[in-house]
A and B are shown apart, each in its own frame.
Chain A
Amino acid sequence: MGSAKNSTSAQRKARIEEMRRAEASRERRNRILTIGASVVVVVGLVVGGVVLIQSQSDKDSSASDSKGSGHFVTGKDGVKTWKGTLGRTHVAKTVKYPMEPPVGGDHNQVWMNCNGDVYTKAINNMNAVHSLEHGAVWVTYNSKASDADVKALAEKVKKTPYTLMSPVEDQKDPIMLSAWAHQRTVKSASDPDVAKFFESYVQGKQTPEPGAACTNGLSQ
């Protein structure tokens, strides 16, 4: 009995020892898992944060110190976006722009009034670019545009603050719409892309100087 008792006690001791070992190893494993999971969460948050911040600063990166060099990229919606630099310096001299009508670059210190202003004679590009900087959409046409379209567009512009309209004879299409760094051609005044362009770009996200005025500048 005594020996049996002893053996049982030894067995129990061994089993307890084993259980303790198992528990210790389970605890160790759980600790590792907890630390591992925490590391994954922290790394995930850090990486996510960095990606988020970088994607935002990428959006903000636009050079503002040169006259403008780059090229247009046409989007699926037909809007051409200028990829490259567009200067924003006020200059008194004549600026030669790499596109017609210009969509940005160095410009005259006086903006062209763009409070729904319709000009029947050509205006100076250097003043118009300043209006684009203030968030205006510039409607331009040449002699190939029909009188009816020109009249209908003028009516729309007159009702839309932060737009202006003028003839630009040497542009490539009859009717073109321009905003800072963006441009498109439309088929007619009733083309639905006119309203879409206005909604996107009149004081739109592309505006380098949100809140700046379209009044008390230059008029014809």
Chain B
Amino acid sequence: MKQVGWIAGTSAAVLVAAGAITYAVAEDGGSDSAVPSAGSADAGFARDMAVHHQQAVEMSYIVRDRTKNEEVRRLAYDIAQTQANQRGMLLGWLDLWDLPKTTSDAPMTWMGMGDMASGKDGSLMPGMATNTDLKKLNTLSGKQAEILYLQLMTSHHQGGIHMAEGCVQKCTVGVEKNLAQGMVDAQQSEIKLMADMLKARGATARN
């Protein structure tokens, strides 16, 4: 009888375990680590950087339509591709965590800087261009478009680096922290490149 009890106990345990695994897989899509909350740095960075990146993608597409210069078009292609892909990762993580893509909190509240951005004229976060800037970029062509793009993107990268550093400090999800550090490194190097490109065009960054 002891053996019967043991078998029955084991079967019950196996069934419960199978049920628990099925439930867990069905509930959270197979993630086995703790899921960040909507107010966490992990969620906040994913939400805000997705918005910040989108404008860089948009600006890069605009300048590719406004100039034939190979060097600027290649830089713009690189930025658009990279940031569109990174944006997809950030939004995908929010999907996996079952968290909203938008919030009523001001941008960057998660890093204690909810009062940083004016939010006026489409410039929702530090470094973002205004709608007026983008409209102007759409009217310029050739060298003038290149200069404005390089200036706008330099400011955009500076704001982006600042926000990415917030995630490097506060994020708890390893892959996200690594992505943020990668953004800091890559954008710092691009700022140097853009400074040289501006200089070659007889211009400088805006600030």
Contact = CB atoms under 8 A, between A and B. Distances in A.
Interface in B80-126: 88, 91, 95, 100-104, 119, 122, 124
A199 B100 contact: yes
Given A52-B26, A203-B101, A210-B91, A45 B11 contact: no
Contacts of B200: none
B100 A202 contact: yes
B15 A41 contact: yes
Interface in B24-53: 25-26, 51
Contact of A158 (B54, B101, B122): B122
B7 interface: yes
B61 interface: yes
B48 to A, nearest CB: 11
Chain B interface size, under 10 / 10 to 19 / 20 to 34 / 35 or more: 20 to 34
Interface in A182-216: 195, 198-200, 202-205, 210-211, 215-216
A198 B19 CA distance: 35
A200 B122 CA distance: 23
Contact of B10 (A26, A37, A162, A215): A37
Nearest to A49: B22
B11 A48 contact: no
Nearest to B38: A199
Given A202-B100, A203-B91, A30 B3 contact: yes
Contacts of A92: none
Nearest to B18: A45
A15 interface: no
Most buried by A among B8, B15, B103, B104: B104
A211 B88 contact: yes
Contacts of A203: 91, 101-102
A195 B104 contact: yes
B18 A41 contact: yes
A44 B18 contact: yes
Interface residues of A, number: 34
B19 A48 contact: yes
Contacts of B19: 44, 48
B101 A44 contact: no
A9 interface: no
B190 to A, nearest CB: 22
Contacts of A216: 58, 61
A66 B14 CA distance: 46
A167 interface: no
Given A161-B54, A199-B102, A34 B22 contact: no
Nearest to B61: A216
A159 interface: yes
B175 interface: no
A52 B26 CA distance: 7
29 contacts: A33-B4, A33-B7, A33-B8, A40-B11, A40-B15, A45-B18, A48-B18, A48-B19, A48-B22, A49-B22, A52-B22, A116-B122, A158-B122, A159-B124, A160-B102, A161-B51, A198-B100, A198-B102, A198-B104, A199-B100, A199-B102, A199-B103, A202-B101, A204-B100, A210-B95, A211-B88, A211-B91, A215-B54, A215-B58
Closest 3 CB pairs of A and B: A37-B11, A199-B100, A203-B101
Interface of A: 26, 29-30, 33-34, 37-38, 40-41, 44-45, 48-49, 52, 55, 115-116, 158-162, 195, 198-200, 202-205, 210-211, 215-216
